[in-house]
Amino acid sequence: MLQTALTEPTRPSQPGYRDSASDIPMAAATEAHALFVLDKLEVFYGSFRAVRDVTLQIHANEITAFIGPSGCGKTTVLRCLNRMNDLIPGARVGGTIAYHGIDLYGDEVSATEVRRRIGMVFQKPNPFPKSIYENIAYGPRINGVRDRGKLDQIVEKSLRAAALWDEVKDRLHGSALAMSGGQQQRLCIARTIAVEPEVVLMDEPCSALDPIATARIEELMRELKRTYTIVIVTHNMQQAARVSDRTAFFTAELDPKAERRTGVLVEYDTTSRIFSNPRDERTENYITGRFG
Amino acid sequence: MRHPGDPILAISLEPKLSWRTIKSFVMSGLMIAAFVAITIPLVLIIYSLVARGAPVALKAFPDFFTAAIPIVSRRSGPGMGPAIVGTLLCTGGATLIAVPLGILGAVYLHEYGKMSAFARLVRFMAMVMTGVPSIVMGLFVYVLWTMRFGYSAFGGALALACLMLPIVIGATEQMLRLVPDHMREAAYALGATKSRVILTVVLPAALPGILSGCLLAVARAAGETAPLLFTIGAATAYNPHLFENANTALSVQIFGNATSSFAAAQERAWGAALTLVVLTFLLTLVARIVAARFAAKR
């Protein structure tokens, strides 16, 4: 179990809290709301080191984007943040990830409890083959909500938050699989926020969607960051530039020992800085399209 | 070469007789022939069953399905009532034993044991069990149960359960493998525990397939004769007790009557055979309807 200090997460409640990245005073923001502190994180799959030396901080109520070419370990790092990597046989983590100052991979920490607080939206929309209602109610149910009225409330609230309510309110008990891809992905977001997590991790949430559906999800993300902290992995640089407050650029480097490519964090800064004035040449090459 | 603006020459969209189209044609023909070939035995079986069994069963309707079996087998007339009850008892008992055990076993193998040494051993043993002749299962239960507690439908149920178990395990594990990992991940990401994920996501998604596998096992067990021969004994009167006294079953009656030299007995064998097939069919139908209802509710 996470310590009880974590049961009441501190969330800045004023709406519109820090809307644009450019006005973050760098030094002040670094420590102020560091929700996750990653220190020299490395991840192994068996003997293969997939990613190494990731040191960064993720801030509350911001959208943090992980960008980089395929195989650079950005999804791997994302999946460490709610211990989804535990499910992959042979996955091993080095370095530390502190969440509210608690070591996520500490002996006392339950992965289940971590995932309850840190939700995840996947690349491919993955609704359960149940009704729309049951999809949303699943999370609250496993967390002990039995009361029908309460569940109805949660379902409506979550669907409204995911800007889906008006489209589906008349067919809540119809199959979720009958929805369009964009609707399914918003349903997955609604399902995630129905358990009231503190953080929502998104692993390329728009890669299977068309531009219109993508625009809706991006709009939704901007709404959601008032309440939640969002970390998104994306292949789409424009998307990172559009929605995120901070951007981490990863790349894959040839590991001289293993003869395999290992992901490294190249640069992490405010999004405006990464896209206008990157410090590392590799970042510049990537964002200008000369590489990757 | 054609340039933009040139008049379009006459084109033909009709199929050309090339090697490719001939091959496709021949292959389609072969497939249809194969389908017809495998249908012939099925049609013939059903035809002879109905042609020879239906008059027997319907001549004395409904007595054939309710009356006791004649003690003297050369005497003509109904019925198969006790055998129907015996089959239901043995098969039902076997299902109650094998289906829960088999599903639990498969869940262990696929969700917990995975590729561990123990899981691999269990998986291998289940595979070996599939190949054990059914009469050996009968002997096994005879030694283990019948020699101590005497003939009863339960002995038959045990023997049939041994036969069903590997089928249920195999089919269920196959179905669990078909549940996509992204569905498990979705549940884990909401903070579900492993057991919760299995109970609320994996098993419901795999249920239709698991049910099909179980039905296959039930149908197989309902038609088995050998495992029942030394485990349930012989009876001609109704015995609705699962644990007491000798019993009989349709398959045993078919075997006994068909090998008899009396025409009356042979007739009853045809009737019993038709009854068994119809019984299995009805069972499958009911299970499918229940499954469809269940699937629609989700």
Cα dihedral A127, A162, A201, A46, rounded to 10, equals 10
What is the C-alpha separation between B247 and B235, in angstroms, rounded?
A: 5
Count how many pairs of residues, chain A against chain B, have C-beta atoms within 8 Å.
Answer: 67
**Any B CB within 8 A of A82 CB:** yes
The helix (H) or strand (E) run that includes residue B188 is helix B181-188
Amino acid, single-letter form, for residue B42: L
What is the C-alpha separation between B199 and B193, in angstroms, rounded?
A: 10
The dihedrals phi and psi of B296, each to the nearest 5 degrees, come to -65, -35
Q: What is the mean pLDDT of residues B107-124?
A: 93
3-class secondary-structure state, position B134: helix
Q: What is the mean pLDDT of residues B39-57?
A: 93
Which residues of chain A neighbour B185 with C-beta distances below 8 Å? 84, 87, 120, 122, 126
In chain B, the domains with their CATH numbers are 84-250 (1.10.3720.10)
What pLDDT score was predicted for residue A2? 47
Q: Chain-centre distance of CA A38, in angstroms?
A: 15
- Best of B111, B190, B203, B298 to disrupt the A interface (most A CBs within 10 Å) is B190
- Best of A130, A187, A189, A193 to disrupt the B interface (most B CBs within 10 Å) is A130
- HSE of A16 in the Cβ direction (CA atoms, 13 Å)? 0
**Any B CB within 8 A of A139 CB:** yes
**Any B CB within 8 A of A188 CB:** yes
What is the C-alpha separation between B85 and B103, in angstroms, rounded?
A: 26
What pLDDT score was predicted for residue A30? 45
What pLDDT score was predicted for residue B146? 92
The DSSP secondary structure of B231-263, one letter per residue, reads TT---SS----SSSS----HHHHHHHHHTSS-H
Q: Is residue A8 part of a domain?
A: no
Taking an 8 Å cut-off on Cβ atoms, the answer to whether B185 and A87 are in contact is yes
Strand order in the sheet with A48-59: A102-103, A91-99, A34-45, A48-59, A260-270, A246-255, A63-67, A229-233, A199-203, A118-121
Which residues, including other chains, have CB under 8 Å from residue A100's CB and lie 6 or more apart? A2, A5, A6, A9, A35
Which residues of chain B neighbour A143 with C-beta distances below 8 Å? 191
Token representation of residue A89: 């046989």
Amino acid, single-letter form, for residue B276: L
Q: Is residue A7 part of a domain?
A: no
Taking an 8 Å cut-off on Cβ atoms, the answer to whether B186 and A119 are in contact is no
Query: Residues of chain A whose pLDDT is less than 50?
Result: 1-31
Q: What is the mean pLDDT of residues B41-56?
A: 93
What is the C-alpha separation between B155 and B233, in angstroms, rounded?
A: 10
More confident residue, A13 or B139: B139
Taking an 8 Å cut-off on Cβ atoms, the answer to whether B191 and A191 are in contact is no
Amino acid, single-letter form, for residue A281: E
B150: left (phi over 0), alpha (psi -120 to 50) or beta: left
Q: Is residue A116 part of a domain?
A: yes
Give how many domains chain A has, as a whole number: 1
Which residues of chain A neighbour B178 with C-beta distances below 8 Å? none
Taking an 8 Å cut-off on Cβ atoms, the answer to whether A128 and B193 are in contact is no
The dihedrals phi and psi of B231, each to the nearest 5 degrees, come to -110, -30
Q: Chain-centre distance of CA B183, in angstroms?
A: 29
Return the CA Rg of chain B.
26
What pLDDT score was predicted for residue A18? 40
Which residues of chain A neighbour B189 with C-beta distances below 8 Å? 82, 84, 115, 119-120, 122, 192
Q: Is residue A20 part of a domain?
A: no
Q: Is residue A17 part of a domain?
A: no
CB atoms within 10 A of CB A114: 22
Which residues, including other chains, have CB under 8 Å from residue B180's CB and lie 6 or more apart? A126
Taking an 8 Å cut-off on Cβ atoms, the answer to whether A112 and B185 are in contact is no
Taking an 8 Å cut-off on Cβ atoms, the answer to whether B188 and A87 are in contact is yes
**Any A CB within 8 A of B16 CB:** no
**Any B CB within 8 A of A149 CB:** no
Measured over the CA atoms of residue B36, residue B37, residue B43 and residue B44, the dihedral's sign is: positive
What pLDDT score was predicted for residue A56? 92
Residue B170 has pLDDT above 90, yes or no: yes
Q: Residue A213 is part of which domain span? A: 32-287
pLDDT digit string, tens, across residues B174-217: 999 999 999 999 999 999 999 999 999 999 989 888 988 898 89
Which residues, including other chains, have CB under 8 Å from residue A98's CB and lie 6 or more apart? A36, A37, A38, A39, A104
Q: What is the mean pLDDT of residues B155-180?
A: 94
Taking an 8 Å cut-off on Cβ atoms, the answer to whether B189 and A131 are in contact is no
What is the C-alpha separation between B160 and B229, in angstroms, rounded?
A: 11
The dihedrals phi and psi of A244, each to the nearest 5 degrees, come to -90, 155
What pLDDT score was predicted for residue B288? 82
Q: What is the mean pLDDT of residues B236-251?
A: 88
What pLDDT score was predicted for residue B46? 93
What is the C-alpha separation between A40 and A47, in angstroms, rounded?
A: 18
**Any B CB within 8 A of A239 CB:** no
Taking an 8 Å cut-off on Cβ atoms, the answer to whether A126 and B185 are in contact is yes
What pLDDT score was predicted for residue A1? 42
B-contacting residues in A 36-75 (Cβ below 8 Å): none
Residue B140 has pLDDT above 90, yes or no: yes
What pLDDT score was predicted for residue B72? 79
pLDDT digit string, tens, across residues B275-284: 999 999 998 8
Picking from B180, B189, B193, the nearest residue to A84 by CB comes out as B189
What pLDDT score was predicted for residue B148? 92
CB atoms within 10 A of CB A55: 13
Amino acid, single-letter form, for residue B128: V
B197 to chain A: nearest residue by CA? A142
Residue B23 has pLDDT above 90, yes or no: yes
What pLDDT score was predicted for residue A246? 94
Q: Is residue A175 part of a domain?
A: yes
Cβ atoms B142, B231 nearer than 8 A: yes
In terms of C-beta distances under 8 Å and separation of at least 24 residues, what long-range contacts does B176-179 make, across chains too? B176/B106, B176/B107, B176/B110, B176/B111, B176/B202, B176/B206, B177/B110, B178/B206, B178/B209, B179/B205, B179/B206
**Any B CB within 8 A of A192 CB:** yes
Q: Is residue A200 part of a domain?
A: yes
What is the C-alpha separation between A120 and A26, in angstroms, rounded?
A: 28
Q: What CATH number corresponds to the domain at position A245?
A: 3.40.50.300
What pLDDT score was predicted for residue A29? 43
Picking from A116, A128, A134, the nearest residue to B191 by CB comes out as A116
State the SS3 of B193-230.
CHHHHHHHHHHHHHHHHHHHHHHHHHHHHHCCCHHHHC
Q: Is residue A19 part of a domain?
A: no
For residue B87, give the nearest of B291, B285, B286, B272 by alpha carbon: B272
